[in-house]
Amino acid sequence: MQSYGTKIIDLAETNAKDIARQWAADVRKHKRTPTYHNIPEDEVIDQAIIFYMHFRQMFYTDKPYEAAKSFSVKYAEDRYKEKIPLQEALYALILIRRHLWLYAEFQATFITTLEQRQATESLNRTILMFDYVCYQVTERYQELMKAEVDSRLGIIKTLTMDHTEKGEKSFYKTGIIIVALIIAGALTYYYHAMLGTATLFTHLFYIPIILSAMWWRRGGVYISVFLALMLLLSHAIFLEGVPFTDDVVRSFMFVVIGAVMDRLMDGIRKVEGIYKQLTT
């Protein structure tokens, strides 16, 4: 394997800067890589030089997939940080490969029949490496996108208990909501029946409403309706003669907050779903 690739590898290493410069000129005006157009040449050129200097290592290995990975991961991470869209990062790679072969053709590197055969084998090997690089760069980009979404949704993910086991998660969620509802019921009873006042400490009621909206689809609406009915019923039983106005407003607000939370969580679930589809 060592012999057939020597010419193209030597060419890549010896002329890395020249080839990279031609590539940079191309990528900085190519219509399929518009994000590169405003990046200074000095910053762009290194991307190709790194590849051409890495070429020998990737070419002469029994494990080309692993060898390609060390380059691909770094390439993907750097381009992602520079906010280059994936399709442009891939096309820039394609151009890196093309410019190597264009240079080889221009320098008339493969003329004789034997050299032509070597060219075919070298080209096949190069394409194999690029297949791996394209796959790995795409995969890494998606991992990075997922990590970014995960970190942005960090608090919500913690509250939704996404990290706990399924059975365990369901047990804790149900338990917490039951306890919160019991507390809400006890508070309502205490204020209405014992103190005989409608001035109720209802802020705590929002906790089960918000949590259930995060944990179950339409959970916010169901729990808020339940709490609203409980409040109004308790008022009817224990507070005869006291106007309903305040408790009706409170109940209405429970349902509004529950519905809004459900809607927001639908949005977050959808965003998560889109990213999951791309990355899993």
| Cβ burial 75-111 (10 Å sphere, 16+ → b, else e) | bbeebbeeebebebbbbbbebbbebbbebbeeeebbe
Residues that bind other proteins (CB under 8 A): 32, 85-87, 90-91, 94, 98, 113, 116-117, 119-120, 123-124, 127, 131, 134-135, 138-139, 142, 263-264, 266-267, 270-271, 274, 277-280
* Reduced DSSP (H G I as helix, E B as strand, rest coil) percent helix, strand, coil of the chain, to 5: 85, 0, 15
Q: What is the DSSP string of 190-229?
A: IIIIII--S----GGGHHHHHHHHHHSTTHHHHHHHHHHH
Closest distance between other proteins and the C-beta of residue 89, in Å?
9
With respect to other proteins, which residue has the nearer C-beta, 243 or 267?
Answer: 267
Closest distance between other proteins and the C-beta of residue 144, in Å?
12
Closest distance between other proteins and the C-beta of residue 166, in Å?
21
Closest distance between other proteins and the C-beta of residue 139, in Å?
4
Closest distance between other proteins and the C-beta of residue 88, in Å?
9
With respect to other proteins, which residue has the nearer C-beta, 124 or 158?
Answer: 124
Residue 70 has φ and ψ, to the nearest 5°, of -60, -35
What tokens appear for 109 in the block?
């590197």
What tokens appear for 50 in the block?
């790194």
